[in-house]
Amino acid sequence: MNKIIAKEYFSDKVVKLVVENPLIAKSRKPGNFVMLRIGEEGERFPLTIAGADPVQGTITLVVQIMGVSSSKLVALEVGESITDLVGPLGKPTHIVKIGTVLACGGGVGVAPLLPIVEAFKKAGNRVLTVIAARNKDLIILEDEIRKWSDEVIVMTDDGSYGRQGLITAGMEEIIQREKVDECIVIGPAVMMKFASILTKKYNIPTQASLNSIMVDGTGMCGACRVTVDGKTRFTCVDGPEFDAHLVDFDEMLMRLGGYTQEEKKATEIYSQKL
């Protein structure tokens, strides 16, 4: 169980892994995540499920190399196993037929966005998708996203692919010419903050999938707490998706920085060991 069945590098920083886990493949819904651990000394960390094949009994994870745990995961070869894998966790995305959906994915956030885009399309919606990344290398799953979208705009910060600009520029263009009924944003927290400010201006109901720090992922510890509409909520059991206009993104960004020193030190030690 939890064996790596297939591994594909989208770029030298972003890797797709197909993992054997028939139970999670069967029970998972779009928006769910898993908690993983690599090695007996490893920490627990979350990854949103990017896809699943219940027939093959596999789930798909897309990971961006950031620090120690993501590096350890990406270092696994086909045939090796993830030490601990549990899920599906979190509340699944609320999929409805609402009309026109604006789906926005930043960087590796496009991976968990893909099953949601597919689900909204299958539910009978018009799906307009904006995907964005810093440069061409970091744009992922474009063909798969196009398959389930009525229109796709690609943005890169440096203009090396698609149009030059931030995700909000692509979003604004669509909002100006279409009546958007609902928006979903997944990506780096600062991107979700500004995307949310934009859609709030136009009163477009928006769901953001938060990527808070987690320890257990089952609602036990409160490490992932965020303030939504003035109340404390746990990303792992009340989320990971919340009404973006009610999320205190500034507090969330502050909490995401809670272990920056420890993360930096650990990454240094890990790279020295290699």
Partner 1 sequence: MRSKTKNKDRTLIPRVKMPELAPEIRVKHQDREVNMGLAPEQAQTEATRCMDCANPTCIEGCPVSINIPKFIKYIEKGEVLNAAATLKETNALPAVCGRVCPQEKQCEARCFYVDKLGKDAVAIGHLERFAADFERNSGVANIPETAKPNGIKVATVGSGPSSLSFAGDMVKYGYDVTVFEALHEIGGVLKYGIPEFRLPNSVVDFELENLRKMGVKFQTNFIVGRTASFDDLKEEGYKGFFIGSGAGLPRFMEIPGENYNGILSSNEYLTRVNLMGASTSNTDTPVLKGKNVAVIGGGNTAMDSVRTALRLGAERAIIIYRRSEAEMPARIEEVKHAKEEGVEFMTLCNPLEYFADEKGRVNRMRLNRMGLGEPDASGRRRPMPIEGSEFELDVNLVVVAVGVSPNPLVPSCLPDLKVTKWGTIVVDEDKMQSSMPDMFAGGDIVRGGATVILAMGDGRKAAENMHQFLQNKSNI
Q: Which residues bind partner 1 (CB under 8 A)?
A: 23-24, 27, 37, 41-44, 68-69, 83-89, 215-216, 218-223, 225, 227, 232, 237, 251, 254-255, 257-259, 262-263, 266
Structure tokens at 250: 């500034």
Give the residue with the Cβ less far from partner 1, 99 or 258: 258
For 234, other C-beta atoms within 10 Å of its C-beta total 21
Minimum CB separation from partner 1 for residue 216, in Å? 6
Minimum CB separation from partner 1 for residue 200, in Å? 22
Give the closest residue to 182 by CA, choosing from 174, 193, 191, 173. 174
Give the residue with the Cβ less far from partner 1, 72 or 126: 72
**Beta bridge partner(s), residue 84:** 37
Give the residue with the Cβ less far from partner 1, 151 or 262: 262
Give the residue with the Cβ less far from partner 1, 206 or 212: 212
Give the residue with the Cβ less far from partner 1, 160 or 227: 227
Whether residue 168 contacts residue 206, with contact meaning beta carbons closer than 8 Å, is answered with no
Question: 3-state class of 124 per DSSP?
Answer: coil
Minimum CB separation from partner 1 for residue 41, in Å? 4
Minimum CB separation from partner 1 for residue 24, in Å? 7
DSSP 109: G
Dihedral angle of Cα 74, 77, 83, 84, to the nearest 10 degrees: 60
Q: In Å, how far from its chain's centre is CA 158?
A: 22
Minimum CB separation from partner 1 for residue 101, in Å? 27
Minimum CB separation from partner 1 for residue 21, in Å? 9
Half-sphere exposure of 188 (CA within 13 A, CB side): 13
Give the closest residue to 16 by CA, choosing from 47, 46, 57, 54. 47
Minimum CB separation from partner 1 for residue 57, in Å? 13
Give the residue with the Cβ less far from partner 1, 39 or 159: 39
Whether residue 41 contacts residue 243, with contact meaning beta carbons closer than 8 Å, is answered with no
* CA–CA distance, 105 with 186 (Å, rounded to integer): 5
Whether residue 126 contacts residue 150, with contact meaning beta carbons closer than 8 Å, is answered with yes
Give the residue with the Cβ less far from partner 1, 88 or 115: 88
Query: Angle CA(100)–CA(247)–CA(255) in degrees, nearest 5?
Result: 135
